[in-house]
Structure 1
């Protein structure tokens, strides 16, 4: 996984993680969440 490193505020990280968790809970594959 090559990505440009972006600085994020803590609340943005929390939101991103929450969205990822929600997608996983909805039954999406890990590949869909990551890309």
Structure 2
């Protein structure tokens, strides 16, 4: 279980920055529309 906890944390951390990038891409798209 101890080994699983850090693995899950890393996956979540990677998902957060990816979502932030998508938000940045969506913002300019909305402005262009």
- Please tell me the TM-score bracket, short chain as reference: 0.5 to 0.7
Q: CA RMSD in A?
A: 2.2
Q: With structure 1 as the length reference, what TM-score do the two structures score?
A: 0.51
- Report how many residues are paired: 21
Is there any run of 5+ residues in structure 1 with no aligned partner, and where?
1-7, 29-35
Q: Which protein, 1 or 2, shows the higher relative CO under an 8 Å CA cutoff with sep ≥ 6?
A: 1
Moved over 4 A (4+): none
User: Which structure is larger by alpha-carbon Rg, 1 or 2?
Assistant: 2
Greater helix share, structure number? 2
Q: With structure 2 as the length reference, what TM-score do the two structures score?
A: 0.53
Is there any run of 5+ residues in structure 2 with no aligned partner, and where?
23-33
